[in-house]
Amino acid sequence: MSKNEKYVDFENDIKTLEKIISDLENDELSLSKTMELYEKGKSLIQKCNKILDDARLVIKEHENF
């Protein structure tokens, strides 16, 4: 996966997280569906944090030049 693809995935993952949050705010979800969305959201947050950490590292490396 190229760096650009990673950032496109990041943007898509953020949109997915926004949808998950919206769905979780719906009181009509079953407990199993709530837990499924929670776990998916947790995984996406971890993935997005990794991408952000990598981006921060690249920026920091460029600042040192």
Name the domain count of the chain.
1
Q: How confident is the model at residue 2 (pLDDT cuts 50, 70, 90)?
A: confident
More confident residue, 4 or 48: 48
Listed in sequence order, the residues at least 6 apart from 22 whose beta carbon sits closer than 8 Å to its beta carbon are none
pLDDT at 35: 97
Task: Note down the domain range covering 34.
Answer: 3-63
Tell me how many degrees the CA angle 25-12-38 measures, rounded to the nearest 5: 35
Mean pLDDT (whole number) for 33-52 = 96
pLDDT at 54: 92
pLDDT at 4: 73
